Structures are given as structure tokens and as C-alpha cells.
Chains A and B, each alone.
Chain A
Amino acid sequence: MEEEGRSREEPLLLAELKPGRPHQFDWKSSCETWSVAFSPDGSWFAWSQGHCIVKLIPWPLEEQFIPKGFEAKSRSSKNETKGRGSPKEKTLDCGQIVWGLAFSPWPSPPSKKLWARHHPQVPDVSCLILATGLNDGQIKIWEVQTGLLLLNLSGHQDVVRDLSFTPSGSLILVSASRDKTLRIWDLNKHGKQIQVLSGHLQWVYCCSISPDCSMLCSAAGEKSVFLWSMRSYTLIRKLEGHQSSVVSCDFSPDSALLVTASYDTNVIMWDPYTGERLRSLHHTQLNPPMDDSDVHISSLRSVCFSPEGLYLATVADDRLLRIWALELKTPIAFAPMTNGLCCTFFPHGGVIATGTRDGHVQFWTAPRVLSSLKHLCRKALRSFLTTYQVLALPIPKKMKEFLTYRTF
């Protein structure tokens, strides 16, 4: 096994943001943080803080800029600091529970060209867009720097659970819904719905577009994972293997691997080009109960790849954040977290953000990785070569196995 230059440390809690004042009970609001997201360039962090609100803060988070209405506990300070807010932070009131969040890649075409007709006050500079997936099926599109509501996309009949923009910056948005469909929206044409993808039999929990923009993955309650072509919007293949609802999916940064997480306590790693199952990561309890209770206690909630493609972070119902190295079968590190729902890596590495059922957001240290040159070459090659193209190369078998992630 290669030695990657990495630190073997447990994730340390860097900071935690807790809502300061409990909100009044209201039939349409609840306090869960269903989604957290960093903008692709790492300059903003967003989370659905519950109570129908999305909070946007500039990143990195500085102590004097703890968001208003929050209390923060950081590794450096012993006391909890009350937030007074940063001049740049934004609070987006979506009017109903927010389930999904997605940032567009930056920069987008100059906003005046796109939005001027309907929003003359939008500044004439490249804009960063945030899409929010709501309880009744609506999708609200916001401009991040001004906090302006740009568009309301209608079509879904039920909760919009997840959203994904194409990484190329083409402003094509994919949404996944409890109405069992995925929809493709073109924000260049004022949010025109260009396709409905049907086929799932139960709630669609998540969607993810491969970094090379060729494939869309969707996962649903009926245990199946679908792979769609982003060029023709047709179904490529179904991936079978999970024993329960599949709730989270993510592609590796070079599009060569797909990971899916399920209530069946497993994360499966797939080759998305061939549909082959490469490995399963079992989430077993550290201290199993004496009786047969809580069989499903290690249900997965979220899985995500690290930016250099060598680690995974998972959040499970057994109150643990786990870090996995791709080539190993057991986690390399654990951190205790209660009621975790979602996780995401900071795009330049070093930090993992998690969201919880009580509306808390936490930031953890992620392993600091200096990839081997061998892995860097693999990542560069797989960013434009499919598995079949690799297999057709005039190179030794061992090299093909390395390039297709059959060996590490």
C-alpha cells in the first residue's frame, strides 16, 4: 500500500454554531439542518438552519463575524460567543421548510445579461447563485451577494429533497423530489423546465452530477440507484445492491467512482461506467448492544468525497462522523456527533461541515492530505478517461487495475 502523506488524527471540532434563541413553535417550521454547502470556490457557506431560513456566511469564518442570532463555541475560545453578524452575511427567508441547497459554480455569465429584464437592480458582475429546494415542491433561486430572490421554479409536486448544478457552469440545475421525479431546469432561459426524469418508484432522496458533467446519479427509497446521461437525459443503468432506502450519493473528483449511502448501514463504492460494485463500507457500532435492539441504529445519512479524492466522510444515526481512506475497509477516524443529517468537505480540503437535527452546524478538521504523484496522475487521467478507455490503453494490467481503482 502506498504511503500517502497524511495525518492520522481524529477529526477535531473547530467550531460549532448553535441557534441562540429557540424559535416559536409554528406548524410549518422545524429546526433541522437538512443541508449544508460550500460554494465551489470556497468563499461562502450556506445551511438550511430550520424554521424556513437559509443562512449564508462568507468563508473563512472569523470570530468577530459569528452570524447574528447564533452562539459559537470554537476550539480557541472556552466561552460561547454571541454572534453579532458580519456585514456580508445573508438570511434568506424561504417561507417553508428548506430541504435541499446547491450553489452554482462561480463565475456565471454576467448577471445583467441574465436577469436584467426582471431584476434591473442586480449588479452587472458575475454572480453566485444558490438554489433552495422547498417543502411544497417549489425551488427558489437566489443571488448570493445581494440576497435577492431571482426565480421561483414550479413543477415538483412534493418536497424537493436535493439539488445539483452542473459543475461546468452552464447553469443547468437538477432537482430530486419526493414526487419520484427528477427535473432539469435551464437557468439561462429563466428557469425553463427542460426535462422530467421518471422511473423511480419511491421518494428520490438525492442527486449528484459527475464532475465531468457526463452522468447524473439519483438514489431513492426503493433501494435502487439510477445513472442517467446528462447529454441525452436518458437512463444509462440501474445499480442494485442496497437493502434499504438509498439516501446520499457522491462522485469522486475525477468522476471515476460513485459512492452511495443507505439506511442498510452500508456505503457502496461503484464504478459508474461499468456498474460494478467495488467495495462496501460497513458501519458497525463501536459498542454493540447486548440484545437485538436497534438493528438499524447505524443507518447512513450522508456520504461525501474529500476534494483530492482519497477520503470519504460519513454521518450515521449511531452518532458518529467517520472518516474513511479509500483503500481501507475500516474507518481511520471517528468523532462523536449527535443527530447528524448531512456533511460536506470544504472544496480546498482541511474542513468538514456537518448539520444536525437541532439546527446546529459544526466544523471539523479533515485529514490533511498531500497526494502521491501516482494518485495525482490517476486523478488527472480519470478526469477525462472512462473505465473502458483506460482498459483499452497499451499499458500493463497492474497499471490498469490502479487506474480503475481496483487496486490502490
Chain B
Amino acid sequence: GHPWCRGCGGEALIYVKLISSDGHEFIVKREHALTSETIKTMLSGPGHFAENKTNEVNFREIPSHVLSKVCMYFTYKIQYTNGSKEIPEFPIAPEIPLELLMAVNFLDC
């Protein structure tokens, strides 16, 4: 089985692996990754049976410095949705917003 996920075979896999164009692997909670409508579709598309359920996605056009920011957004969204705490700003450094926007447009989140 996969050492980085709990319970294979029978139990739902709670982590998924997102792989950037430059080969970095980001392991995030499945629940978080589903923030992206595109990832949601990719992970539960037709032809995937329970035992062979996809738990990794390759992004051939998204580099690691962009994908890492996307993963941070997943955490931010899950943490502050449906709560009553004041929502803090999500910082985006000036060098990446355009590349990030291209990736986000594809990911739909």
C-alpha cells in the first residue's frame, strides 16, 4: 500500500497526491483538493472502481511555485468556510498572480 495514506482497500483514502510540472509532489487531504472543481471531476471520473480509485493527479502545466500556492488556498478555504471567525486576507506575492490565475482558471477554484 501507500505509506502516506491511511487505510488502503476498504477505507476511503484521505490523502491525494498532486504532482507539478517540475516533479514536486504535494500530498494534501482529499477533502481539500476537492475545492477545485476540476480535481473533483478528475478524481471521481467514470471508470474508476473503489480499489483503483485515483489518488494522484499530474499537472503537466502547473509549476511547483504555483501549485504550492493553490494547496495553501485549499487549506485557507476549508479552515474559514462555514465558520464565524473573521476571514483574514490570503496573501499573493506580486510575482505570481498571472501564472496563478492561469492555473486557477483551469482548476476552477
Write the residues of chain A forming the contact surface with B, with a CB cutoff of 8 angstroms.
Answer: 5, 348-350, 368-374, 376-378, 380-381, 384, 393, 395, 399, 403
Contacts and interface: CB of A to CB of B under 8 A. Distances in A.
State the 5 A-B residue pairs at the shortest beta-carbon distance, nearest first.
Answer: A377-B101, A380-B97, A380-B92, A381-B97, A373-B73
Interface in B9-68: none
Contacts of A349: 86-87
Interface residues of B, number: 22
A66 B101 CA distance: 45
Interface in B66-109: 70, 73, 77, 80-81, 84, 86-88, 90, 92, 94, 97-98, 100-102, 104-105, 107-109
A253 to B, nearest CB: 10
B81 A370 contact: yes
B62 to A, nearest CB: 13
A381 B104 CA distance: 14
Contacts of B77: 5, 370
A372 B87 contact: no
B100 A377 contact: yes
A373 B97 contact: no
A393 B92 contact: no
Q: Is the interface of B mostly helix, strand, loop or mixed?
A: helix
B81 A399 contact: no
B34 to A, nearest CB: 13
B101 A378 contact: yes
Contacts of A378: 101
Nearest to A346: B86
Nearest to A5: B81
B80 A370 contact: yes
B40 to A, nearest CB: 13
Contacts of A395: 98, 102
Nearest to A349: B87
B87 A368 contact: yes
Contacts of B80: 370
Contacts of A399: 101-102, 105
A55 B104 CA distance: 45
B97 to A, nearest CB: 4
Given A374-B105, A381-B98, A399-B102, 5 more contacts: A370-B80, A370-B81, A376-B90, A377-B97, A377-B98
Contacts of B104: 372-374, 377
B86 A348 contact: yes
Contacts of A370: 77, 80-81, 87
A395 B84 CA distance: 38
A377 B92 contact: yes
Contacts of A350: 86
Nearest to A350: B86
B94 A373 contact: no
9 contacts: A348-B88, A370-B87, A373-B73, A373-B104, A373-B107, A373-B109, A377-B104, A378-B101, A395-B98
B87 to A, nearest CB: 6
Nearest to B84: A368
Contacts of A369: 87
Given A369-B87, A370-B80, A370-B87, A393 B109 contact: no
B101 to A, nearest CB: 4
Nearest to B74: A373
Contacts of B81: 5, 370
A372 B101 CA distance: 11
B67 to A, nearest CB: 12
Contacts of B97: 377, 380-381
Contacts of A374: 101, 104-105, 108-109
B41 to A, nearest CB: 15
A5 B107 CA distance: 16
A378 B102 CA distance: 11
A393 B101 contact: no
B86 A376 contact: no
B94 A384 contact: yes
Contacts of B108: 374
A85 B107 CA distance: 52
A118 B101 CA distance: 51
A97 B106 CA distance: 55
Contacts of B73: 373, 376
